[in-house]
Amino acid sequence: MNRIFSGMQPTRQLHLGNYLGALRNWVELQNSYECIFCVVDLHALTIDQDPEVLRNNIREVAAAYIAAGIDPEKNILFNQSVVSAHAELGWILSCHTPLGWLNRMTQFKEKAGKQKDMANLGLYAYPTLMAADILLYKATHVPVGEDQKQHLELARDIAGAFNRRYETDFFPLPEPQILGEATRVMSLRDGKKKMSKSDESEYSRINMTDDADTIAQKIRKAKTDPEPLPETVTELEARPEADNLVTIYGALAGQSREQVLAQFAGSQFSDFKKSLVDLSVDKLAPITTRMKELLSDKAEIDRLLKTGGERAAAIAERNLNDVKDIIGLLRP
């Protein structure tokens, strides 16, 4: 059986990278897989959180999933912390993960910055909790953006090592699904940096809750170069900011970069940006509007998350018990 697990952190607002790199693909995939979509709130604790803001962000991410088109009845949609088996399996897997494997993780190095001694243990162990999220449901496929590739390789390594150690094939090796035109959306201020929730500049990203004026302003201010749009993708690739805007356009329009260039080669950026604003507003506004509607009824979101959590827990507890039996923990 093919089962998908994926998740997003409720830290600050979701942005266009999260949407194009992951969420939009989930909406397609829900038609062909059994899917579990999680708001990974335990992962969010790796950075300092204001409790009230965190609570609202969890609801906001759940609302974004639904507004983008995830069906909470057909799929399982829940927040990670309500299923305590995530933390338990996280611990068990951390006892099966050599430090050397974690030391290779580039995202830890980026996030911890220069003061590694001050980074918290959770940030370091983040990838083992992520492996637990996936393996707890014996997920076979994990749709994510390109930045999560290394974490997924680690999850596969952990699953493989566990299977070998206990001479079992209990965990499937989860396959990353890095799909679509925009697997790595870059910052609007710097074409060499990933679009990220943690970037200090609001102008670096388009948030899923931005209104039409804000989207227009951010795209107008997006960094470009003085040349008109080129004719070929090879020429485009030497110009990271231009490449990023063309990639975003293509992803939103359902076109390849070649198709976008066939339409816009020779255009000035001022003109291309106008079309990009119209397209972005056209695609994002209905999602933003629906998110707002959903968020006006917090009790309903909580109810959906609760039901999803119960459905997730039923699978998770069964699998966790099997893991406990395999490794020799007594369940009297």
5 belongs to the binding site for ligand TYM (CB under 6 A): yes
Give the number of other Cβ atoms within 10 Å of residue 256's Cβ.
15
Candidates 185, 222, 304, 312; binder of ligand TYM (CB under 6 A) is: 185
Candidates 3, 17, 188, 277; binder of ligand TYM (CB under 6 A) is: 17
* Residue tagged active-site, from 114, 149, 194, 223: 194
Candidates 3, 4, 7, 124; binder of ligand TYM (CB under 6 A) is: 7
Please confirm, yes or no, whether 111 is among the known catalytic residues.
yes
What phi-psi label fits residue 11: left (phi over 0), alpha (psi between -120 and 50 degrees) or beta?
beta
Q: Determine the interface stretch with ligand TYM among 141-149, 240-248, 268-276, 309-317 (rule: CB under 6 A).
A: 141-149
d(CA 302, CA 318): 24
8 belongs to the binding site for ligand TYM (CB under 6 A): yes
Q: Determine the interface stretch with ligand TYM among 3-11, 217-225, 288-296, 303-311 (rule: CB under 6 A).
A: 3-11
Q: Is 247 annotated as a binding residue?
A: no
142 belongs to the binding site for ligand TYM (CB under 6 A): yes
Structure tokens at 174: 């989860």
Q: Is 196 annotated as a binding residue?
A: yes
Please confirm, yes or no, whether 149 is among the known catalytic residues.
no
Q: Is 187 annotated as a binding residue?
A: no
Q: Is 274 annotated as a binding residue?
A: no
* Residue tagged active-site, from 138, 197, 218, 273: 197
Q: How many CA atoms lie within 13 A of 242 on its CB side?
A: 25
Q: Specify which residues 6 forms β-bridges with.
A: 37
Question: Cβ contacts of residue 218 below 8 Å, gap of 6+?
Answer: 188, 202, 203, 205, 206, 210
Residue 150 or 214: which CB sits closer to ligand TYM?
A: 150
Q: Determine the interface stretch with ligand TYM among 28-36, 180-188, 217-225, 309-317 (rule: CB under 6 A).
A: 180-188
The backbone torsions φ and ψ at residue 93, rounded to the nearest 5 degrees and listed phi first, read -70, -30
Please confirm, yes or no, whether 194 is among the known catalytic residues.
yes
Nearest approach, Cβ of residue 130 and ligand TYM (Å)? 4
Q: Determine the interface stretch with ligand TYM among 16-24, 115-123, 226-234, 306-314 (rule: CB under 6 A).
A: 16-24
136 belongs to the binding site for ligand TYM (CB under 6 A): no
Nearest approach, Cβ of residue 231 and ligand TYM (Å)? 26
Q: 187, 182, 181, 212: which is closest to 201 by C-alpha?
A: 187
Candidates 60, 133, 210, 241; binder of ligand TYM (CB under 6 A) is: 133
135, 99 contact by CB (below 8 A): no
d(CA 278, CA 57): 28
Give the number of other Cβ atoms within 10 Å of residue 71's Cβ.
13
78, 311 contact by CB (below 8 A): yes
Q: Is 17 annotated as a binding residue?
A: yes
Catalytically active residues are 111, 194, 197
The binding site for ligand TYM (CB under 6 A) comprises 5-9, 17-18, 21-22, 40, 43, 130, 133-134, 142, 144-145, 147-148, 151, 183-185, 194-195
Annotated binding site for L-tryptophan: 133
